[in-house]
Structure 1
């Protein structure tokens, strides 16, 4: 383990903390394949956290060995350091521990809080909703056009009486298909790490940018999945009209915290994308993006586990 390893990890962490998320958030290709873009965002988040903690850990443990496994084993077995241990080594070790505990702790805390909030909303809704005409959905008496789902072990898909009255049969089917896509693909799990990242590092602009981008991509992905199950001459226009109706009626303000709603996440961009669909991402580009995401995860892992040759 050499200073070059810590420096390489620090450079990678800096790139993943600002310029890389900024470039991906501004790029136009993610709207062509939201699922691949979501994989890339997950890789950026994981690799960024690993690089930040790893850079501090590598520098702090440098006196004990030439690779992280060797140094960690020396510390655990109580072996003496091979080189003098300076104050900066103790400082970086402390910072690495604090950052690791904060990132993991905030992630766990966010999951617990979100799960508790969803459970509370589900229990309250189950008191006031009744079975809807749509299978596996519940009807909420409310004049605003609202449609949302609460994910979890006992998922709940809710339609308001306002949205049932507002939409025709095809549009309502599009809304239901969108919400079922959220539940089937567990989109709330894509969002959770970025909710935690934003909470743990509120001073980092990339955290808020990443959260917003992932939320939009999750909605675009649900739109794409919903379109596969829709019939009719113009399913894209049907879904776009349903989204506009839900957003225009102020339904977003009525959605419980932790729920996923059809009117959530960059409504204008989604409607434009539905009415003017971009060309699909070529197969080679999809595989190139997935390969980049894999290499991004592999880079800090390799730097941490292997000595610099």
Structure 2
């Protein structure tokens, strides 16, 4: 019956709303492979949204059929309900619609606002920056050591004159490689769902924690990609020194909203990770984590589309 399916989805939604994100946030393995951890976080967020909206929708449509597709088709075609439609069915249908509209609406609104803000900052910066010595970078006259990139259709990588004066050539190359990694891998897209999640559900403690965790993982991933393009035995120390210089220069105020900065988050944890790198995640553990992410998406999807329990 559909009520059993709704109950299963509700249990899954409750687990993904707090215990699972809390466990993933406190786990130590994500720092060993930030990319795999980012995939897992995306699966948690998407599966959580499917589960909570699906639970409400399935319960609300229960009188119209024995599976969600059958019940939805009955409603769309004007077929009468097979059972008594109670007030709680109308309430859950309304909540499902409101929650779905809020989550999708906040996601779109966050994307539009962020895109507009980045475009405005890019247009202002184009008036004051000039080409830097580093390829693809622009130089901004500012005394604080700052490095950031503005993603989007016309990405921009900016170094401040204070950063250029503070760092040597190797450290500057490390900073540029870090920012290029953000742009090349479109890290801003990893962050967007969690910005929207936190805005849509501010009362949910896991939302803020998930956003912070994903932001840290994005920076760690950019560190890892940057290291691959650097050479020399001290490349880890070189990047760590550049991060510390940017974080200690009080340059955060000069970083535009919506930009990704080299000192954007969890500086201490990133520096420790660079100087004392953890062992890579074993292959079997990577496969297990990715399989868990896929399973996490398949379970609510199957509950929604397959015949009711």
**What's the counterpart of residue 129 of structure 1?**
129
- Distance (Å, rounded) in 1 between the aligned partners of 2:80 and 2:167: 73
Task: Classify the secondary structure of the residue corresponding to 1:263.
Answer: coil
- Distance (Å, rounded) in 2 between the aligned partners of 1:149 and 1:2: 49
Task: Classify the secondary structure of the residue corresponding to 1:278.
Answer: coil
Larger CA deviation: 104-113 vs 228-237 = 228-237
Spell out the pairing of 1:1-309 with structure 2 (5 A cutoff). 1-309=1-309
- Distance (Å, rounded) in 2 between the aligned partners of 1:148 and 1:209: 23
- Displacement of 1:232: 1.8
Task: Classify the secondary structure of the residue corresponding to 1:139.
Answer: strand
Q: How many pairs align?
A: 309
- Distance (Å, rounded) in 1 between the aligned partners of 2:278 and 2:6: 42
With structure 2 as the length reference, what TM-score do the two structures score? 0.99
**Structure 1: gaps (5+ residues):** none
Runs of 4+ deviating beyond 6 Å = none
- Distance (Å, rounded) in 1 between the aligned partners of 2:232 and 2:126: 33
Task: Classify the secondary structure of the residue corresponding to 1:279.
Answer: coil
Contact 1:251–1:263 at 8 Å: present in 2 too? no
- Displacement of 1:2: 2.0
Q: CA RMSD in A?
A: 0.6
- Distance (Å, rounded) in 2 between the aligned partners of 1:234 and 1:101: 51
- Distance (Å, rounded) in 1 between the aligned partners of 2:254 and 2:48: 35
> CA-to-partner distance for each residue in 1:256-300, whole Å, 9 max, x for gaps?
000000001100000000000000000000000000000000000
- Distance (Å, rounded) in 2 between the aligned partners of 1:31 and 1:136: 29
> CA-to-partner distance for each residue in 1:87-110, whole Å, 9 max, x for gaps?
000000000000000000000000
- Distance (Å, rounded) in 2 between the aligned partners of 1:111 and 1:46: 17
**Structure 2: gaps (5+ residues):** none
- Displacement of 1:253: 2.2
Task: Classify the secondary structure of the residue corresponding to 2:171.
Answer: helix
